[in-house]
C-alpha cells in the first residue's frame, strides 16, 4: 500500500456513478451541451467574434490569477494582451503572472484550432506548471515544472505525500486518457469531456504535486481538456475560471468538501451550474448581435427603392444609430455618432424633424413623451410563436 492511500483515501481514480450527480446536474449538462452546440453554429460578424473571444480570454486569464491573489483588473489584463498596458515596477511580478497564463491559454487555443493538442501526460502537466511559474517571483525551493520533494498545503489541507506525487500524476494522466470518460454516443460525449476536465482540476488540487502554482495548473489542464474536446466553442472553455473567481469563497468550500466527502460530485454540480450561467450570458450576447444584424437588414429593406439620396442616407444612419430600447432626446439624436453628426451638420434644424416624422410614418421609429426610440419591437412579428403557461 502506498502512503497516499493511508493519508488521502479519497484519491481513488474511480469513475463517478451517474446516480451520484443527481437529476439537476444531468439536466444542466444537457442544457450546456445544447447551448454549446448553438453557440458553435451561430454565424457572427468577424469583428464581433474576435471581440467575444478576446473578452472571454481576458476574463479567463484575469480570473485564474486573481484566485491566487493577483490584483490586476480585467481592463489591465486586456491591456497586457493588446500591448496597451504595462504595470508599474512594484506590480511587474503580477504582470508576469498574467502574461504566463495568457501565453499558455493562447498556445493551447492555437493547438486546439489546429487539431494538435498533445495527449495528457505527466510531462505535459509539469510543463504547464513550468509555463505558469517561469520568470515569476518564488521561494528558492520552488522549481517550475518539477514535482515537489517536500510536503505542501493550502490552508488546513495538506497535499499528497511527496514520494507519491509522480506516481499519482502518471495515474491521473492514464485515467483521463482512458475509456472512463469516452463514449461513442454523441449525446454522452459532452458530459464525458466536461467530467474529465473537472475531475482533472479537482485531482490536481487533491494531489497538489507542485511546490507552487497548483491551482493555475489545475485550471489550465481543465481548459485544455475542454478546448480539445471538439464539443464546445473555444470561448466557452474559459467560462469555468471566471465562474470560480466570481464565487471564490464557494470555490474553496467545494474543493474542501470534495476531499471531506471523498467525491467530486458536489464540485461537478457547482461547476456546471456556473458554466451554464456563463453560457446563458454568451447566448444573450449572440442574440443581441443577431438582432442588430436583422434590424439593420430590415431597415435597409424598408428604405430601399429608387436611387440613393441624401435624405435616405440620413434617415438610415439616424435610425440605425439609435440604441435598441433607449429613448433619445432631440439633442441626443443630432449627435448620436460621428456619421449622424456629419450628415445633420450640412442641413437645417427642420430636416431632423422631417426625417423623424418620416421614420415614424414608416414604423421604424416610435415617438415617446421624452423622445424617440428605434422600433425594434416590430421584429417580434418574425419570431416563431410560443405557447404560454399558467
State which CATH number among 3.30.530.20, 3.40.109.10, 1.10.10.60, 1.10.10.10 fits the domain covering 305-382.
1.10.10.10
Q: List, for the chain, all residue ranges whose pLDDT scores fall below the cut of 70.
A: 306, 382-390
Residue 306's pLDDT is 66
Residue 230's pLDDT is 87
User: Residues of CATH 1.10.10.10 domain(s) within the chain?
Assistant: 305-382
In the numeric block, which cell numbers belong to residue 217?
Answer: 495548473
62 in helix, strand or coil? Answer: helix
For the question of whether the overall pTM of this predicted structure is more than 0.85, the answer is yes
For β-strands 371-374 and 365-368, DSSP reports them as antiparallel
Of 175, 271, 283, residue with least CA distance to 223? 271
Locate the DSSP E strands across the chain.
153-154, 157-158, 365-368, 371-374
> Facing residues of 262 across strands?
none
Query: How far is 358 from 19, CA to CA, in rounded Å?
Result: 62
Q: What CATH architecture is 3-286?
A: Orthogonal Bundle (1.10)
Residue 8's pLDDT is 97
Residue 210's pLDDT is 97
User: Residues of CATH 1.10.3290.10 domain(s) within the chain?
Assistant: 3-286
Residue 386's pLDDT is 55
End-to-end CA distance of the chain: 61
Residue 384's pLDDT is 64
Amino acid at each position: 500500500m502506498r502512503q497516499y492511500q493511508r493519508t488521502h483515501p479519497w484519491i481513488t481514480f474511480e469513475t463517478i456513478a451517474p446516480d451520484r450527480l443527481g437529476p439537476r446536474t444531468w439536466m444542466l449538462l444537457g442544457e450546456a451541451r445544447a447551448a454549446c452546440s448553438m453557440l458553435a453554429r451561430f454565424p457572427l460578424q468577424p469583428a464581433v467574434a474576435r471581440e467575444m473571444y478576446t473578452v472571454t480570454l481576458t476574463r479567463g486569464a484575469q480570473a485564474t490569477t486573481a484566485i491566487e491573489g493577483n490584483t490586476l483588473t480585467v481592463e489591465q489584463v486586456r491591456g497586457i494582451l493588446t500591448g496597451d498596458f504595462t504595470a508599474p515596477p512594484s506590480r511587474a511580478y503580477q504582470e508576469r503572472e498574467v502574461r504566463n497564463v495568457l501565453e499558455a491559454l493562447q498556445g493551447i487555443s492555437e493547438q486546439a484550432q489546429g487539431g494538435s493538442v498533445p495527449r495528457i501526460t505527466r510531462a505535459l502537466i509539469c510543463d504547464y506548471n513550468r509555463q505558469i511559474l517561469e520568470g515569476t517571483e518564488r521561494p528558492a525551493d520552488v522549481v517550475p515544472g518539477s514535482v515537489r520533494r517536500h510536503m505542501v498545503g493550502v490552508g488546513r489541507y495538506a497535499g499528497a505525500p511527496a514520494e507519491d506525487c509522480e506516481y499519482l500524476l502518471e495515474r491521473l494522466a492514464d485515467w483521463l486518457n482512458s475509456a472512463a470518460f469516452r463514449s461513442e454516443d454523441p449525446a454522452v460525449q459532452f458530459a464525458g469531456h466536461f467530467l474529465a476536465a473537472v475531475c482533472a482540476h479537482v485531482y490536481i488540487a487533491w494531489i497538489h504535486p507542485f511546490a507552487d502554482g497548483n491551482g493555475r495548473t489545475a485550471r489550465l489542464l481543465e481548459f485544455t481538456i475542454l478546448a480539445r474536446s471538439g464539443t464546445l466553442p473555444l470561448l466557452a472553455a474559459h467560462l469555468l475560471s471566471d465562474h470560480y473567481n466570481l464565487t471564490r469563497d464557494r470555490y474553496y468550500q467545494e474543493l474542501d468538501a470534495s476531499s471531506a466527502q471523498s467525491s467530486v460530485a458536489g464540485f461537478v454540480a457547482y461547476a456546471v451550474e456556473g458554466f451554464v450561467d456563463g453560457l446563458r450570458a454568451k447566448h444573450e450576447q449572440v442574440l443581441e448581435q443577431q438582432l442588430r444584424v436583422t434590424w439593420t437588414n430590415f431597415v435597409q429593406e424598408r428604405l430601399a427603392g429608387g436611387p440613393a439620396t441624401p435624405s435616405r442616407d440620413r434617415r438610415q444612419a439616424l435610425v440605425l444609430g439609435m440604441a435598441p430600447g433607449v429613448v433619445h432626446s432631440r439633442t441626443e439624436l443630432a449627435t448620436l455618432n460621428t456619421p449622424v453628426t456629419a450628415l445633420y451638420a450640412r442641413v437645417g434644424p427642420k430636416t431632423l424633424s422631417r426625417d423623424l416624422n418620416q421614420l415614424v410614418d414608416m414604423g421604424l421609429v416610435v415617438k415617446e413623451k421624452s423622445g424617440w426610440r428605434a422600433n425594434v419591437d416590430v421584429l417580434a412579428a418574425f419570431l416563431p410563436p410560443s405557447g404560454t403557461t399558467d
